[in-house]
Structure 1
Amino acid sequence: MRIMMIAALALAITGCASNVVTDYNPATVFGNYSSWAFASNAQDSGFTSLDDARVRDAVERELNRKAMKKVTETEADLLISWQIVAEERLEQVGVGLGFGFGHGNFGWGLSSPPPVREVTEGKLVVRMVDRTTEEVVWQAASRRYLNENQSPETRRKLIDEVVSEMFSKYPPGLN
């Protein structure tokens, strides 16, 4: 019973962990911002990728919920930019093998670790830049990742959830 209580407590604590990390300039008065536009240099190439379109839709929806007005870049208080940062990590696939022999308190053993493969994932980072000062005033980064094995619907749903959680922390100090 004690083990079940500890496991439930550990699960509750990990469930409270945030999936996004935000940072902002504490000297910024966020109440002064009422309009926004996507920064023209938001993409490196002239093309919009499928994930870029999903991010744009999600950001636009969340800023509409904040009652912020979308305007042209030259009229905007804030410019929004984002990028999907590629990160590599190692992932264990399968199980390790081992065997041993011995008698009593003495013996010998040999084992091999499970096979490992390198996985590339994408972390979403969204930035808000004050158009007049050209300084980042707020940014959010996801702790959840996009990977190449996800279906288009899964990717859209993940982007929607992450962007929604990011903007639940904007403006800072109200939550």
Structure 2
Amino acid sequence: MEIVQVCYMVKNLEQACENMHRLLGVGPFLGGIEFDLANHKYRGEPARPVTLKGAFVQSGELNIELLELKSEGPSAFHDMYLPGEEGIHHVAMFCVDYEQRKAELVARGCTVASEFTFGDGIQIGYIDARHILGHMIEIYPDDPTIHDMYRIAREAPSRWGGQNLIVPWEDA
């Protein structure tokens, strides 16, 4: 399994995109809108959906995600940072068998912090590995929808004219 993404929790998405672009030269950032992660289970119990505002940007082969938390309540996102705090939240990996990979990580001493469905019912999970790595691990199935998001993010810099730093997914 390979790490395909690193995600940062940020206070303000637009400012974080500008800061990362200015410091690292990456762009464009794809997304920029609020979305809900539904059918939330927090540590095995039903919980309210989590609202985030997010963007993807590519740096070589590594995808970088920036997320601004917009909702309250328990979640893997709230476990890591208090309101106003920023930092690395998770690394992400595809897995051929979601349930098997989740079970393997739990057997290695991690816990399932949050699970959601995304898009058309795609299961995603945040595994709490803070005691080992200092952050969460996001796992999701080897799904064409998510792979397509990564492909679009990889191709976006070659088509970007530099006008808008944050580009909606539908315009990417």
User: Normalised by the shorter chain, which TM-score bucket?
Assistant: under 0.3
- In the superposition, the TM-score normalised over structure 1's length comes to 0.22
Find the structure with the greater CA-based Rg.
Answer: 1
- In the superposition, the TM-score normalised over structure 2's length comes to 0.23
